[in-house]
Amino acid sequence: MHNFINRFRIERAAKLLRYQKSQTITEIALQCGFSSISIKFIFMIEN
């Protein structure tokens, strides 16, 4: 279940990063349920 939720958050964040140019990565991460921006988050978004 944890992997499903993470995948959902990551896919949502990736979509927002593509289309919400006015928001920062940190704002998008927090909006998608991540507690902070981290190297792991960035790596997951890029892949």
Q: What is the pLDDT of residues 25-35, one digit of tens each?
A: 888 888 988 87
Other C-beta atoms closer than 10 Å to the C-beta of 37 total: 15
pTM over 0.75: no
- If one counts the domains in the chain, the total is 1
The predicted pLDDT at position 15 comes to 93
pLDDT one-digit tens code per residue, 1-19 = 878 988 898 899 889 989 9
Angle at 42 between CA 24 and CA 38, to 5 degrees: 85
| Residue 14 lies in domain | 2-46
